Every structure is written in C-alpha cells, then in structure tokens.
Amino acid sequence: MPVTYECQRCTACCRWPGPVRVTDVEVNQLAEFLGLPVEDFIQQHTQLTPDRRGLMLMEQASGACEFLAGNDCQVEPVKPQQCRDFPNGWNFPGWQAECRASIEKLHAF
C-alpha cells in the first residue's frame, strides 16, 4: 500500500519561492471567490510563469504566495490543484526536511 502524507498546515509549501501555476478554470474560481471580474483578477493577482506558458499567482517580497496571511490561505476553498497535490501528488528530493506533513494513520473499522 503506498504511503500517503497528511498535511499539518505548516504552510511551508506556501512560503517557498517558485510558481504556483493556475489553470483557466482555477482563475475563474479564484476570481469568483474574491468577487472580482476575471480580467481584474488576472491583472491584480497573476503574472506570467517564467517559461511564459501560463499564469502563476503573485508572490510577496519574501517569495511566499500572495494569498498566505499568517498561517492561513485566504483562498483555501478554491486553492489551486498544485497546492492540493503537495506532497502526495508531487514533491522534490529532501522535501521532508522542509514540510511537517506526517504519514497518514490508517484507521481500522
């Protein structure tokens, strides 16, 4: 059985510099959640990815995601799939030194 990790909401993955990519569907969901026209959301909250193939969320000066406030994601209900998938869907060598996700405990029924 593959090991799965449970997020402990340490928000380390929100603080790393690096693109949080958003799809067209996610842009629409984020704009609606924030009550903004899509064009305004794109202007105010996204920029081109370094490879210029898509859009990413804006970053704070520290490199953290723009939507991180303290330890909270301000767009949690509609956060992008990239955010939802870490660390089980994707990760990188050494990620466990940075992130506090723990091995999910299986409950016997």
CA atoms within 13 A on the CB side of 5: 17
Site for ligand SF4 in 82-101 (CB under 6 A): 83
Interhelix angle for 24-34 vs 38-45, to 10°?
A: 100
Interface with ligand SF4, residue 75, by CB under 6 A: yes
Q: Which is nearer to ligand SF4, 4 or 74 (CB)?
A: 74
Q: Which of 27, 31, 68, 99 binds ligand SF4 (CB under 6 A)?
A: 68
Bridge-partner residues for 57, per DSSP?
46
Residue 9 to residue 11: CA distance in whole angstroms: 5
CB 38 within 8 A of CB 31: yes
Q: Which is nearer to ligand SF4, 85 or 104 (CB)?
A: 85
> Which residue in 12, 24, 1, 38 sits closest to 101, CA to CA?
12
Interface with ligand SF4, residue 79, by CB under 6 A: yes
Q: Which is nearer to ligand SF4, 2 or 35 (CB)?
A: 35
Site for ligand SF4 in 36-55 (CB under 6 A): none
Nearest approach in angstroms of CB 109 to ligand SF4 is 31
Q: Which of 27, 31, 56, 65 binds ligand SF4 (CB under 6 A)?
A: 65
